[in-house]
Amino acid sequence: MSSALIELKDYKLETNIGTYGPSDIRPSAHILDLKLGIKIDRVVIAHDGMANVFDYDKLIEEINLIAADGHYETQERLVTLIAGACAAHLAVQCIEISLRKSPVQASGGSIGVLLRLNEIDTSALRSGP
């Protein structure tokens, strides 16, 4: 089966997630990885031009606005909102979002949430919760 993907890796979000006490380790980074399965006719094109492809720059702008919109208690809520922004684009057929924070402890590490939505799930997300 043929497929087309738009992939964003290691994108540092400017966001505020979680609640921490004075002695808690605060993450210094929230990193987004995003894979979007899109309609193949948005990659295999007969003519060069932005009108013929998926404009991911607009989506990145939307994600930046969502991330900076205020305080989020959980990574899951931010992932949900990003998934909704992705699904709003009709060319998007399936979505994979990974959001991780680091460090987890003073010794390092990262921890995060991975969400995978197939075509049916993505379509359902378009229809609303």
Q: DSSP label at 28?
A: S
Count of domains observed in the chain: 1
CATH of the domain at 103: 3.30.1130.10
C-alpha to C-alpha distances, 65 to 6, 13, 14, 60, 70, nearest whole angstrom: 20, 10, 9, 9, 10
| Segment 24-66, tens digit of pLDDT | 888 889 999 999 999 999 999 999 999 999 999 999 999 999 9
| Segment 114-124, tens digit of pLDDT | 999 999 999 99
Mean pLDDT of the 67-91 span = 96
Global pTM value:
0.92
Other Cβ atoms closer than 10 A to 6? 19
Q: Is-contact 63 82, C-beta < 8 A?
A: yes
Residues of the domain holding 97: 4-127
Q: What backbone torsions phi and psi does residue 33 show, to the nearest 5 degrees?
A: -120, 135
* Among 78, 55, 83, residue whose Cα is nearest residue 66: 78
